[in-house]
Amino acid sequence: MENLQDSKHRDLTKNKSDANNKFLTTDQGLKINDDNNSLKAGERGPSLLEDFILREKITHFDHERIPERIVHARGSGAHGFFEVTNPIPELTKAGFLQTKGLKTPIFARISTVAGSRGSTDLARDVRGFAIKFYTEEGNYDLVGNNMPVFFIQDASKFPDLVHAVKPEPHNEMPQAASAHDTFWDFISLMPESMHMIMWIMSDRAIPRSLRMMEGFGVHTFRLINAKDESVFVKFHWKPKLGTHAVAWDEAQKISGKNADFHRQDLWDAIEMGNFPEWELGVQVIPTADEHKYEFDLLDPTKLIPEELVPVTIIGRIVLNKNPDNFFAETEQIAFHPGHLVPGIDFSNDPLLQGRLFSYTDTQLSRLGSPNFHEIPINRSIAPVHNNQRDGHMRQEINTGRVSYHPNSLGGGCPYQAKISEGGFSSFNERIDSHKIRGRSESFNDHFGQAKLFFNSQTEVEKSHIVKALRFELGKVETAAIRIRMLGLLAQIDQQLAEKVALGLGAQVPDSPEKPMNHGVSPENEMGNQESTTVKQSVSSSDALTMIKNPTNSNTITSRKVAIICNEGVSEACVANIKSALLKEGAKGFVIAPHQGSLKTENDGAIPVDFSFLTASSVLFDAVYIPHGKKIIALEQNEEVQEFLNDAYKHCKVIGADGDGQKLLKATSFASKIKTSDKGIIMKEEKASKDFATEFIKAMGKHRYWEREENLYQ
Ligand code: HDE
């Protein structure tokens, strides 16, 4: 099979346009002589209607915007490839999974859900993670999230969920935030959301980088092999850089300092050649095991613990090229879980089933035409021939008189493919059932896996969940909603509920309120027979934590270090850390009271990357204070103090050598530093190799969260 890696790039080249050395023209190709002045009746006279050049320019401008995505409006995308490392022909006949080393071009778009297109990247939210595979058998879309479960079990509740979380309709507030009454009102009446609520209140919802998140297909899918045998699968993708988060206080500050933080991080990493990479894997469940577990495989509020079914890695996903044009590619790309190739099929998960309708439908209003598949980024590299015709902005010029099937005038073309010729056929599942509007009883355990998730977390992670809930519910104005939530949290973990209640100054209710009191009919309107809690066969799973996550590595590749400097800084110290970081693929940035250059201790000069005004600790992973004659003078600088305070508060590595230590010792937190805190590195000796090695090793742990114990009591 030909290696396909560049085939999509070749395809896109047909539509690329470069204005270098070209004349300015109208849309009709007419060369423009004056683009600065409209046509007027006299120099001081009115503009003339006949100015078709002005009219064309302004008309086009007036129509530049398209509706943003109803959800996932804020996103960033990149090109890349998927490479098979472990072919699985015994499980699927999908062509792009058959041959070791085969590279299929992809485009990935990673997004937040609730915020508008211009909203901050660091909102507490689930991240969408959608990947389009341009395979030889047509486009395959894996449209997942960075959390393996979802809020609701049935598609019919999706508009309600989204209405509840979006800014409130009367005043359009708050933007990109779930911390408001309507969201928690809805959630407190939806016990099925409790597992997802644990995920969204955990640090998974505030990733350090889009490159440091896991991806999940969420629903159960089917794979089908050439013998028409099927297995169920769950898709997982695991980041090479590990799964990491920022602190919530940090996330909020980043939103102010650089709302494009994640977008920029992804862009810069790719530009620098630090290509983000994930391993793609599957959990495989034989069809015979469909009913083996205490949860239903069709229930999207449940995951399959990796202790029960391990993830088999089948390939790697690499993002290696930024888009040429955000609108043409990242904005216009249209995903759909129903874009399938032979060998992959759906399950009957009722959330997935609803999605199969929604995605084409939404493109019709967002992209404006059923011809959205012709937009270059959406175009398949496999040939497209059918009898679909016309519509807005049709690009293809179909020749001949035949646009129907069957036909004899066109020789029967385009003809249907046999299965042996790659024709798609749905899995031949036997269905023999009553038509019902309801839900299976096997979906009724709403707390079992919420408990599993909570119990799997380290103490630090549990405390972050408590704080997140205190924050979110603390912003809720209606006391009854807060109390109702405490009642639900108590069913996950009594201590969790009590700790949250303490922060809210409220009491955990003795018996939780029934959702039925709030417009939910007792008999099954939500499918809501009483929630039951089923005993879990796994009580704790490391794959669910971030801190103990098996994907974690101690690489510091692409991490950023702030080097705090003043006039008279030791050039040797700066050079020492910079070169040591560079060897690890990380980068040091000089930050000083002013931009330009800084005089060094030997009357040399070093360039300054940022001033304290244009940089902030939250934009870096660690801080280093090198030796310098005048470094202690920064003690008086409020911005420097805030810089260091934040770095400490957000549990980052802080290092200092020589006189740099004096500045560190002059901070308000100096007296709190424990000798056991391995994230604080001080050395008398200047510019030593040992210091750099220790600093880098410390950064490998990402954060020293245990520091929070003496920060918040
Ligand atoms: Fe989506 N979702 N979704 N969703 N979703 C959209 O399609 C929808 C769900 C996901 O970068 C929309 O083109 C329904 C789960 C991603 O372009 C829309 C339901 C998961 C993206 C839509 C769900 C997702 C979307 C809006 C419940 C994780 C962004 C714009 C039945 C497995 C794709 C668009 C991109 C986007 C509908 C639930 C992932 C309206 C009805 C569960 C990553 O069609």
User: Please, which pLDDT band fits residue 527 given cuts at 50, 70 and 90?
Assistant: very low
Q: What is the pLDDT of residue 712?
A: 57
Q: Are residues 123 and 258 in the same domain?
A: yes
Spatial neighbors of 611 by CB under 8 A, at least 6 apart, are: 591, 592, 593, 594, 595
Indicate whether 139 belongs to any domain: yes
Q: Are residues 566 and 694 in the same domain?
A: yes
* ipTM score: 0.98
For the CA of 218, the nearest atom of ligand 1: 32
Nearest CA to ligand 1 atom 24: 144
Catalytic residue among 72, 339, 373, 464: 72
User: Please, which pLDDT band fits residue 521 given cuts at 50, 70 and 90?
Assistant: low
DSSP state of 331: I
Please state, in angstroms and rounded to a whole number, the distance separating the CA atoms of residues 712 and 479: 25
Indicate whether 108 belongs to any domain: yes
Q: How far is CA 363 from CA 85, 162, 327, 387, 537, in A?
A: 34, 18, 15, 20, 42
Pocket of ligand 1 (CB under 6 A): 69-72, 75, 109, 111, 128-130, 143-145, 150, 155, 158, 218, 300, 334-335, 351, 354-355, 358-359, 362
Q: Are residues 206 and 233 in the same domain?
A: yes
Judge whether 470 is annotated as a binding position. no
User: Please, which pLDDT band fits residue 13 given cuts at 50, 70 and 90?
Assistant: very high
What is the helix (H) or strand (E) element at residue 75, kind and residue range?
strand 75-84
Give the CA count within 13 Å in the CB-facing half-sphere of 602.
Answer: 6
Listing from the earlier edge strand, what are the strands of the sheet with 560-564?
610-611, 587-592, 560-564, 622-625, 653-657, 680-683
Please state, in angstroms and rounded to a whole number, the distance separating the CA atoms of residues 228 and 679: 55
Query: In this model, does residue 522 exceed pLDDT 70?
Result: no
195 is catalytic: no
Residues 591-613 have pLDDT tens digits of 999 999 999 999 999 999 999 99
DSSP string, 236-285: EEEETT---B--HHHHHHHHHH-TTHHHHHHHHHHHTT---EEEEEEEEE
Domain final residue pick, 320, 354, 378: 378
Q: What is the pLDDT of residue 538?
A: 95
Query: 394: how many CB neighbours lie within 10 A of its CB?
Result: 14
Indicate whether 265 belongs to any domain: yes
Query: In this model, does residue 466 exceed pLDDT 80?
Result: yes
Residues 649-671 have pLDDT tens digits of 999 999 999 999 999 999 999 99
Judge whether 559 is annotated as a binding position. no
Looking up tokens 């509740």 gives: 157
For the CA of 71, the nearest atom of ligand 1: 26
- Ramachandran assignment for 506, one of left (phi > 0), alpha (psi -120 to 50 degrees), beta (any other): beta
Give the CA count within 13 Å in the CB-facing half-sphere of 639.
Answer: 13
Q: Are residues 540 and 581 in the same domain?
A: no
Indicate whether 34 belongs to any domain: no
For the CA of 72, the nearest atom of ligand 1: 29
Helix (H, G, I), strand (E, B) or coil at 315: strand
> What length does the chain have?
713
Q: pLDDT above 90 covers what percent of the chain?
A: 94
From 526-530, 638-642, 651-655, the region with the lowest mean pLDDT = 526-530
DSSP state of 144: E
Looking up tokens 């609108």 gives: 327
| Residue 579: CATH number of its domain | 3.40.50.880
Q: Are residues 540 and 578 in the same domain?
A: no
For the CA of 154, the nearest atom of ligand 1: 31
Q: What average pLDDT does the structure give for the chain?
A: 96
Q: 86 C-alpha vs ligand 1 centroid, how far in Å?
A: 29
72 is catalytic: yes
Query: In this model, does residue 3 exceed pLDDT 80?
Result: no
DSSP state of 535: P
Q: Are residues 540 and 575 in the same domain?
A: no
Q: What is the pLDDT of residue 638?
A: 95
Q: What is the pLDDT of residue 239?
A: 97
Nearest CA to ligand 1 atom 9: 355
312 neighbors 85 (Cβ within 8 angstroms): no
Backbone angles phi, psi at 317, to 5 degrees: -110, 125
pTM of the model: 0.96
Q: Are residues 638 and 684 in the same domain?
A: yes
Q: 359 C-alpha vs ligand 1 centroid, how far in Å?
A: 7
Indicate whether 362 belongs to any domain: yes
DSSP string, 402-468: --SSS-STTTTPSPPPPGGGT--------------SS--GGG-BSSHHHHHHHHHS-HHHHHHHHHH
Indicate whether 396 belongs to any domain: no
Give the pair of three-digit tokens for residue 75.
């996103």
Contacts 24+ apart (CB under 8 A), 452-456: 452/305, 452/536, 452/538, 452/539, 452/540, 452/541, 452/544, 453/195, 453/198, 453/199, 453/202, 453/544, 454/198, 454/492, 454/493, 454/496, 455/493, 455/539, 455/540, 456/540, 456/541, 456/542, 456/544, 456/545
Please state, in angstroms and rounded to a whole number, the distance separating the CA atoms of residues 543 and 503: 29
Query: In this model, does residue 519 exceed pLDDT 60?
Result: no
Judge whether 707 is annotated as a binding position. no
Q: What is the pLDDT of residue 679?
A: 97
Please state, in angstroms and rounded to a whole number, the distance separating the CA atoms of residues 481 and 304: 31
Q: 217 C-alpha vs ligand 1 centroid, how far in Å?
A: 12
Looking up tokens 């969790």 gives: 496
- Cβ neighbourhood burial of 228 (10 Å; 0-12, 13-18, 19+): exposed
Judge whether 263 is annotated as a binding position. no
Q: What is the pLDDT of residue 713?
A: 47
Higher pLDDT, 371 or 550: 371
- Give the pLDDT mean for 515-540: 68
Q: Are residues 460 and 356 in the same domain?
A: no
Residue type at 413 in one-letter notation: C
Nearest CA to ligand 1 atom 32: 144
Residues 270-317 have pLDDT tens digits of 999 999 999 999 999 999 999 999 999 999 999 999 999 999 999 999
Q: What is the pLDDT of residue 520?
A: 54
Please state, in angstroms and rounded to a whole number, the distance separating the CA atoms of residues 143 and 41: 56
User: Please, which pLDDT band fits residue 517 given cuts at 50, 70 and 90?
Assistant: low
Q: 540 C-alpha vs ligand 1 centroid, how far in Å?
A: 30
Q: Identify the sign of the CA torsion 364, 104, 4, 137.
A: negative
Q: Are residues 584 and 468 in the same domain?
A: no
Residues 343-399 have pLDDT tens digits of 999 999 999 999 999 999 999 999 999 999 999 999 999 999 999 999 999 999 999
Please state, in angstroms and rounded to a whole number, the distance separating the CA atoms of residues 127 and 564: 33
Residues 677-706 have pLDDT tens digits of 999 999 999 999 999 999 999 999 999 999
User: Please, which pLDDT band fits residue 513 given cuts at 50, 70 and 90?
Assistant: confident
Nearest CA to ligand 1 atom 1: 355
For a substitution probing ligand 1, which of 74, 301, 355 has the most ligand atoms within 8 Å of its CB?
355
Judge whether 366 is annotated as a binding position. yes
First to last CA, the chain: 62
Query: In this model, does residue 423 exceed pLDDT 60?
Result: yes
Q: What is the pLDDT of residue 531?
A: 82
Indicate whether 172 belongs to any domain: yes
Q: Are residues 229 and 284 in the same domain?
A: yes
Please state, in angstroms and rounded to a whole number, the distance separating the CA atoms of residues 36 and 169: 42
Please state, in angstroms and rounded to a whole number, the distance separating the CA atoms of residues 376 and 379: 5
Q: What is the pLDDT of residue 302?
A: 98
| Residue 493: CATH number of its domain | 1.20.1370.20
User: Please, which pLDDT band fits residue 1 given cuts at 50, 70 and 90?
Assistant: very low
Range of the domain at 241: 75-378
- Give the pLDDT mean for 69-94: 98
Judge whether 109 is annotated as a binding position. yes
Query: In this model, does residue 546 exceed pLDDT 80?
Result: yes
Q: Are residues 513 and 565 in the same domain?
A: no
659 neighbors 629 (Cβ within 8 angstroms): yes
Contacts 24+ apart (CB under 8 A), 435-440: 438/524, 438/527, 439/153, 439/154, 439/350, 439/524, 439/526, 439/527, 439/528, 440/296, 440/298, 440/527
| Residue 274: CATH number of its domain | 2.40.180.10
What is the helix (H) or strand (E) element at residue 361, kind and residue range?
helix 350-366
Nearest CA to ligand 1 atom 6: 71
User: Please, which pLDDT band fits residue 512 given cuts at 50, 70 and 90?
Assistant: confident
Q: Are residues 475 and 505 in the same domain?
A: yes
Number of structural domains found in the chain: 3
Indicate whether 187 belongs to any domain: yes
Please state, in angstroms and rounded to a whole number, the distance separating the CA atoms of residues 631 and 640: 11
Query: In this model, does residue 622 exceed pLDDT 60?
Result: yes
